[in-house]
Structure 1
Amino acid sequence: MSNQPITDRNGMTEEQFLEAYDTNMYEHPSVTVDMLIFTVMDREQGNYRKLPEKSLQLLLIKRGEHPYLGQWALPGGFVSVDESIEDAARRELFSETNIANIYMEQLYTWGDLGRDPRTRVISCSYMALVDRTHLHVQAGEDADDAAWFELTYEVLEENREERAQGCEASRLISIILHNEIKNETLSGIVRIVETVQGHVRKLTREILQSSGIAFDHVTMVQYAIERLRNKVEYTDIIINLMPETFTLSELQRVYEIILGKDLLAAAFRRKIADAVTETDEYTKDAGHRPSKLYRYNMNRNSI
């Protein structure tokens, strides 16, 4: 075997090539991270005999700097050249909201032109589903505020058109984010168009309306809900929202809130039978009939 170094068409070794490489040969887009932190919380109930109504909520920060000064956005920021994207996500989340040590998974990379008025920006988004009661949210750095917003997701319109060797399907999705304490309501409408031509599939998302939500973050929220609903069907991600012990009715209601639909109790209990373990404990809430408490089956491996 030859000990001669490998050279390229210009007669350069890799070491020589890297030494001579001009990093200014290509323009450098900036890279950012954005975090979608979801939780399910009880709404306040006036009648103690009713089970608490729950809502899906999303953590947002109020921007304290241009651009979009005063508007609400996902926690996030720029990635430094000396850190990984995941490290940047954890750093920015902690510095803007005081949240640390939670499991986040990468959601999607957003690279459309014009998505940030400052410069060419590519963003890597992360998603987490958390138990809000264990977190102390506090705004920091360039965020004027940080708060949980109740999220409503609604399909306004669906269309499908058959075409030669394919079809085109479109949906209009409404996103409403509301914080009652702050008297803030944010909204957006996203059009999703999926075109299938032979074996080629193309999907586009377009913001038709965005009020109070910075950048293209309403699109990120729409996609995250889609992804979250898919994960609920085949993983135990919801267990991150539950206390150590819970009733099956509580667990079912959390599933229903995230999926946006009612579930048949018998079918639901069959579905999650091997995911939970029965305890010897019962609820003790005033005005409620005692219910059996369950806990997550730690021997189950489905995440």
Structure 2
Amino acid sequence: MRTSKKTKERRKMTAFFKEIEPFRGNGNENEKGQTLENFLEEYDPYKYKNPCVTTDAVIFSCKRKVVDGEWKVLMVKRRNHPSIGWWALPGGFIELHENLEDTARRELTEETGVADLPMEQFAVYGNATRDPRARIITSAYLSVVDEGQVKVQAGDDAADARWMQLHCQTESVKEDGDWKRTIYRLALENKEAELTISAIVEKKERSGLVRETYYKVKESDRIACDHAALIVQAWKLVESRLI
């Protein structure tokens, strides 16, 4: 009797996580009379359609003093769909054995050649329509590096990789009931390539004991997906620490 591919994958999933003692609970069997081992043997992770998980990395660089310096962000040009030919943040899909921060570092290295950076998780984006390939949830990371200390070289899914000068201006701020709406104009420029790409990003926030903050791309000129929103959110976080 042949074992189906799905069954093999399911077995791989249960064998993937060998140390199960911390998950034994009170040690009782469930209502079906299953021990934890029995339950895991029969558990099918493919029973439901699950979202895919990716990471994206916003990597900033500053040549001079941190407060007064010229800030840049590292971007890659997409070699394939979706948003082929547009500029995006380095990132990609998580592998089963990886922690999220390891995925962020691996994808950054594969697409730009930049390695061994400290990574800070700052956001999770999961809008249901953010990617046409599937329901994709991304965990976003940021880091800051001196561009003179790293060598950027495009690889993997990236057709090109470049530092782009960051310009982020506040266009308007409006109070709307409990909500505060801020519009930012983002421009990324590489003078050597005579390239300027841009976007309009809205920040929507509500203060209080429970705070809500959302960043959304309203318009985009050659910046892929919701990456302009990720860049603005990361930049406003870094900027707040420089004041």
Q: Which residue in the other structure is 1:279 paired with?
A: none
Q: Which residue in the other structure is 1:15 paired with?
A: 37
Q: Which residue in the other structure is 1:6 paired with?
A: 28
Distance 2:69 2:28 in 1: 64
| Stretches of structure 1 lacking an aligned partner (at least 5 in a row) | 43-52, 234-303
Following TM superposition, by how much is the alpha carbon of 1:40 offset from its aligned partner in structure 2, in angstroms?
Answer: 1.2
**Number of aligned residues:** 215
* Deviation string, structure 1 residues 52-107 (Cα, Å, up to 9, x no partner): x8411000011111111111100111111122222211111111111112212112
Alignment partner of 1:211 is 2:226? no
Alignment partner of 1:224 is 2:239? no
Distance 2:240 2:33 in 1: 52
Distance 1:5 1:175 in 2: 55
SS of 1:60 mapped into structure 2: strand
Distance 1:154 1:179 in 2: 18
Q: CA separation of 1:19/1:212 partners in 2, compared to 1, >3 Å: closer, same or farther?
A: same
The aligned amino acid for 2:239 is R
Across the aligned residues of Structure 1 and Structure 2, the Cα RMSD in angstroms comes to 1.9
Alignment partner of 1:74 is 2:74? no
| Stretches of structure 2 lacking an aligned partner (at least 5 in a row) | 1-25
Alignment partner of 1:115 is 2:130? yes
Following TM superposition, by how much is the alpha carbon of 1:200 offset from its aligned partner in structure 2, in angstroms?
Answer: 4.8
Q: Is the 8 A contact 2:179 2:204 kept in 1?
A: yes
Equivalent runs, 1:1-303 vs 2, <5 Å: 5-41=27-63, 54-161=69-176, 163=177, 167-195=178-206, 200-233=210-243
Q: CA separation of 1:229/1:78 partners in 2, compared to 1, >3 Å: closer, same or farther?
A: same
The aligned amino acid for 1:134 is Q
Following TM superposition, by how much is the alpha carbon of 1:174 offset from its aligned partner in structure 2, in angstroms?
Answer: 0.9
Q: CA separation of 1:30/1:194 partners in 2, compared to 1, >3 Å: closer, same or farther?
A: same
Q: Identity over aligned residues, as a percent?
A: 36
- TM-score, structure 1 as length reference: 0.67
Following TM superposition, by how much is the alpha carbon of 1:206 offset from its aligned partner in structure 2, in angstroms?
Answer: 2.3
Bigger mean CA offset, 58-67 vs 222-231? 222-231
Following TM superposition, by how much is the alpha carbon of 1:190 offset from its aligned partner in structure 2, in angstroms?
Answer: 1.1
- TM-score, structure 2 as length reference: 0.83
Distance 1:75 1:5 in 2: 44
Distance 1:147 1:80 in 2: 26
Distance 1:87 1:205 in 2: 25
Distance 2:50 2:69 in 1: 45
The aligned amino acid for 1:214 is A
Q: CA separation of 1:85/1:202 partners in 2, compared to 1, >3 Å: closer, same or farther?
A: closer
Q: Which residue in the other structure is 1:257 paired with?
A: none
SS of 2:154 mapped into structure 1: coil
Distance 1:97 1:199 in 2: 40
Q: Is the 8 A contact 2:215 2:233 kept in 1?
A: no
Q: CA separation of 1:228/1:199 partners in 2, compared to 1, >3 Å: closer, same or farther?
A: closer
Distance 2:209 2:95 in 1: 39
Distance 2:239 2:153 in 1: 28
* Deviation string, structure 1 residues 244-294 (Cα, Å, up to 9, x no partner): xxxxxxxxxxxxxxxxxxxxxxxxxxxxxxxxxxxxxxxxxxxxxxxxxxx
Following TM superposition, by how much is the alpha carbon of 1:134 offset from its aligned partner in structure 2, in angstroms?
Answer: 0.9
